[in-house]
Amino acid sequence: MRSITLLLLLRHCAARGLFAPHVQLAQLTDEGWLQMPRNIKTVMIEIGCSDIMTMDDGDRHGPQFVYDRNAFLISFEPLLEKYAALLAKGNTRFHSTTKNKAVPLGHHHHRGVVLPFAVGTVPGQQIFNVSVVAGCSSLVRMVKRPGWAKICQNALEQREVQVITLTDALALVPPTMPIKYVKIDAQGMDFKIIKHTPRAALYRVQAV
Protein backbone atom coordinates (compact mmCIF):
# COMPACT_ATOMS: atom_id res chain seq x y z
CA MET A 1 0.00 0.00 0.00
CA ARG A 2 1.16 3.51 -0.71
CA SER A 3 1.36 6.04 2.07
CA ILE A 4 0.80 9.74 2.61
CA THR A 5 4.11 11.36 3.45
CA LEU A 6 5.42 14.79 4.15
CA LEU A 7 7.08 15.35 0.81
CA LEU A 8 10.34 16.58 2.27
CA LEU A 9 13.85 15.31 2.68
CA LEU A 10 15.10 14.97 6.22
CA ARG A 11 16.82 18.22 6.99
CA HIS A 12 17.82 20.37 9.88
CA CYS A 13 18.58 24.05 9.57
CA ALA A 14 19.76 25.55 12.86
CA ALA A 15 19.53 29.08 11.52
CA ARG A 16 15.82 28.71 10.82
CA GLY A 17 15.02 26.28 13.63
CA LEU A 18 13.43 23.94 11.10
CA PHE A 19 13.31 20.16 11.33
CA ALA A 20 11.11 18.49 8.73
CA PRO A 21 11.11 14.67 8.50
CA HIS A 22 9.88 12.37 5.77
CA VAL A 23 7.28 10.33 7.62
CA GLN A 24 4.28 8.12 6.82
CA LEU A 25 1.00 9.56 8.07
CA ALA A 26 -1.75 7.25 6.82
CA GLN A 27 -2.41 4.18 4.72
CA LEU A 28 -3.57 4.57 1.13
CA THR A 29 -4.88 2.08 -1.38
CA ASP A 30 -2.98 1.40 -4.58
CA GLU A 31 -5.24 3.99 -6.23
CA GLY A 32 -4.13 6.68 -3.77
CA TRP A 33 -7.30 6.81 -1.65
CA LEU A 34 -7.44 6.61 2.11
CA GLN A 35 -8.14 3.12 3.40
CA MET A 36 -11.61 2.94 4.96
CA PRO A 37 -13.75 0.22 6.54
CA ARG A 38 -15.87 -1.74 4.06
CA ASN A 39 -19.17 -0.47 5.45
CA ILE A 40 -18.40 3.19 4.65
CA LYS A 41 -20.88 4.81 2.26
CA THR A 42 -20.12 8.52 2.69
CA VAL A 43 -17.31 10.83 3.82
CA MET A 44 -17.15 14.02 5.89
CA ILE A 45 -14.18 16.39 5.86
CA GLU A 46 -13.14 18.70 8.69
CA ILE A 47 -10.63 21.47 7.91
CA GLY A 48 -9.20 23.08 11.03
CA CYS A 49 -9.82 21.24 14.29
CA SER A 50 -7.69 22.44 17.21
CA ASP A 51 -8.76 20.28 20.16
CA ILE A 52 -12.25 21.61 20.91
CA MET A 53 -15.63 21.25 19.20
CA THR A 54 -14.34 18.60 16.83
CA MET A 55 -16.63 16.46 14.72
CA ASP A 56 -15.26 13.18 16.06
CA ASP A 57 -16.57 14.13 19.53
CA GLY A 58 -20.05 15.01 18.34
CA ASP A 59 -19.63 18.71 19.10
CA ARG A 60 -20.85 21.55 16.91
CA HIS A 61 -21.56 19.89 13.52
CA GLY A 62 -20.35 16.55 14.79
CA PRO A 63 -23.60 14.70 15.54
CA GLN A 64 -24.02 14.08 11.81
CA PHE A 65 -20.85 12.02 11.94
CA VAL A 66 -21.26 10.38 15.35
CA TYR A 67 -24.67 8.92 14.54
CA ASP A 68 -23.95 7.96 10.93
CA ARG A 69 -22.26 4.58 11.28
CA ASN A 70 -21.55 4.45 7.57
CA ALA A 71 -19.67 7.77 7.49
CA PHE A 72 -15.89 8.25 7.51
CA LEU A 73 -14.27 11.43 8.84
CA ILE A 74 -11.10 13.01 7.43
CA SER A 75 -9.75 15.78 9.68
CA PHE A 76 -6.94 18.25 8.99
CA GLU A 77 -5.00 19.99 11.77
CA PRO A 78 -1.56 21.56 11.11
CA LEU A 79 -0.67 22.44 14.72
CA LEU A 80 1.33 19.41 15.80
CA GLU A 81 0.38 19.58 19.48
CA LYS A 82 -3.31 19.59 18.52
CA TYR A 83 -2.73 16.88 15.92
CA ALA A 84 -1.11 14.81 18.69
CA ALA A 85 -4.07 15.45 20.99
CA LEU A 86 -6.44 14.21 18.29
CA LEU A 87 -4.32 11.11 17.68
CA ALA A 88 -4.34 10.39 21.42
CA LYS A 89 -8.13 10.07 21.21
CA GLY A 90 -7.59 7.13 18.88
CA ASN A 91 -5.67 5.20 21.51
CA THR A 92 -8.47 5.76 24.03
CA ARG A 93 -11.19 4.79 21.55
CA PHE A 94 -9.42 1.63 20.42
CA HIS A 95 -7.96 0.49 23.74
CA SER A 96 -9.54 2.52 26.58
CA THR A 97 -6.89 2.87 29.31
CA THR A 98 -4.76 -0.06 28.17
CA LYS A 99 -1.15 0.96 27.55
CA ASN A 100 1.37 -0.18 24.95
CA LYS A 101 -1.20 -0.96 22.24
CA ALA A 102 -0.90 0.18 18.64
CA VAL A 103 -3.61 2.02 16.71
CA PRO A 104 -4.16 1.98 12.93
CA LEU A 105 -1.96 4.70 11.44
CA GLY A 106 -3.46 8.18 11.62
CA HIS A 107 -6.73 7.10 13.22
CA HIS A 108 -8.30 9.33 15.87
CA HIS A 109 -11.56 7.37 15.52
CA HIS A 110 -12.56 3.91 14.36
CA ARG A 111 -14.10 5.67 11.36
CA GLY A 112 -11.73 8.59 11.02
CA VAL A 113 -8.23 9.75 10.16
CA VAL A 114 -6.49 13.01 11.09
CA LEU A 115 -3.69 14.51 8.99
CA PRO A 116 -1.26 17.31 10.01
CA PHE A 117 -1.82 19.50 6.96
CA ALA A 118 -3.19 22.99 6.54
CA VAL A 119 -5.67 23.39 3.69
CA GLY A 120 -5.23 26.50 1.57
CA THR A 121 -5.30 27.82 -1.97
CA VAL A 122 -1.73 26.98 -3.00
CA PRO A 123 0.00 23.69 -2.12
CA GLY A 124 3.49 23.49 -0.64
CA GLN A 125 5.42 24.64 2.40
CA GLN A 126 4.04 27.87 3.86
CA ILE A 127 4.28 29.99 6.98
CA PHE A 128 1.53 29.34 9.52
CA ASN A 129 0.86 32.13 12.00
CA VAL A 130 0.29 30.62 15.43
CA SER A 131 -1.82 32.54 17.91
CA VAL A 132 -1.69 32.25 21.71
CA VAL A 133 -5.28 31.03 21.24
CA ALA A 134 -4.65 27.98 19.06
CA GLY A 135 -7.99 28.18 17.26
CA CYS A 136 -7.08 31.63 15.92
CA SER A 137 -3.98 30.36 14.10
CA SER A 138 -4.01 30.88 10.36
CA LEU A 139 -2.16 31.02 7.06
CA VAL A 140 -3.33 34.64 7.05
CA ARG A 141 -0.98 37.12 8.72
CA MET A 142 -2.30 38.47 12.01
CA VAL A 143 -3.02 42.18 12.19
CA LYS A 144 -4.22 44.29 15.09
CA ARG A 145 -7.12 46.21 13.62
CA PRO A 146 -10.90 46.44 13.91
CA GLY A 147 -12.58 43.33 12.58
CA TRP A 148 -10.13 40.94 14.21
CA ALA A 149 -11.29 39.45 17.50
CA LYS A 150 -9.08 40.70 20.34
CA ILE A 151 -8.35 37.17 21.54
CA CYS A 152 -6.88 36.40 18.10
CA GLN A 153 -4.45 39.31 17.99
CA ASN A 154 -1.72 37.85 20.20
CA ALA A 155 0.85 35.94 18.14
CA LEU A 156 2.91 33.14 19.63
CA GLU A 157 5.23 32.18 16.76
CA GLN A 158 5.43 31.28 13.10
CA ARG A 159 5.83 27.70 11.86
CA GLU A 160 6.40 26.19 8.46
CA VAL A 161 3.63 23.74 7.59
CA GLN A 162 2.63 21.57 4.68
CA VAL A 163 -0.34 22.98 2.78
CA ILE A 164 -2.64 21.07 0.44
CA THR A 165 -5.66 22.30 -1.50
CA LEU A 166 -9.24 21.22 -1.02
CA THR A 167 -8.93 19.50 -4.40
CA ASP A 168 -6.05 17.44 -2.96
CA ALA A 169 -8.14 16.60 0.11
CA LEU A 170 -11.12 15.49 -1.97
CA ALA A 171 -8.84 13.31 -4.10
CA LEU A 172 -8.15 11.14 -1.03
CA VAL A 173 -11.72 9.84 -1.35
CA PRO A 174 -12.73 7.32 -4.05
CA PRO A 175 -14.44 9.22 -6.91
CA THR A 176 -17.66 7.22 -6.57
CA MET A 177 -17.95 7.97 -2.84
CA PRO A 178 -20.30 10.89 -1.97
CA ILE A 179 -18.92 13.57 0.34
CA LYS A 180 -21.75 14.46 2.65
CA TYR A 181 -20.25 17.47 4.38
CA VAL A 182 -17.15 19.70 4.36
CA LYS A 183 -16.60 21.82 7.45
CA ILE A 184 -14.07 24.65 6.98
CA ASP A 185 -12.71 26.63 9.91
CA ALA A 186 -9.59 28.16 8.36
CA GLN A 187 -9.53 31.57 10.04
CA GLY A 188 -9.92 33.97 7.14
CA MET A 189 -9.27 31.43 4.36
CA ASP A 190 -12.68 29.76 4.27
CA PHE A 191 -14.23 31.39 1.22
CA LYS A 192 -10.90 31.58 -0.62
CA ILE A 193 -10.48 27.82 -0.28
CA ILE A 194 -13.89 27.22 -1.87
CA LYS A 195 -13.33 29.86 -4.55
CA HIS A 196 -10.05 28.27 -5.63
CA THR A 197 -11.56 24.78 -5.86
CA PRO A 198 -12.75 23.82 -9.37
CA ARG A 199 -16.42 22.91 -9.70
CA ALA A 200 -15.34 19.61 -11.18
CA ALA A 201 -13.78 18.73 -7.81
CA LEU A 202 -16.85 19.85 -5.83
CA TYR A 203 -19.47 17.95 -7.81
CA ARG A 204 -19.96 15.25 -5.16
CA VAL A 205 -19.86 17.56 -2.11
CA GLN A 206 -23.39 17.76 -0.77
CA ALA A 207 -22.90 20.57 1.77
CA VAL A 208 -20.24 23.01 3.00
**CA dist., res. 203 & res. 190, Å (int):** 18
**CA dist., res. 54 & res. 48, Å (int):** 9
Q: Evaluate whether 182 touches 132 at the Cβ level (below 8 Å).
A: no
Residue 8: per-residue pLDDT: 38
Residue 146: per-residue pLDDT: 58
Residue 9: per-residue pLDDT: 37
Query: Is residue 137 very low, low, confident or very high in pLDDT (cuts 50, 70, 90)?
Result: confident
Residue 67: per-residue pLDDT: 86
Residue 105: per-residue pLDDT: 95
Q: Evaluate whether 179 touches 45 at the Cβ level (below 8 Å).
A: yes
**Tens-digit pLDDT profile for residues 51-75:** 888 999 886 665 678 889 999 999 9
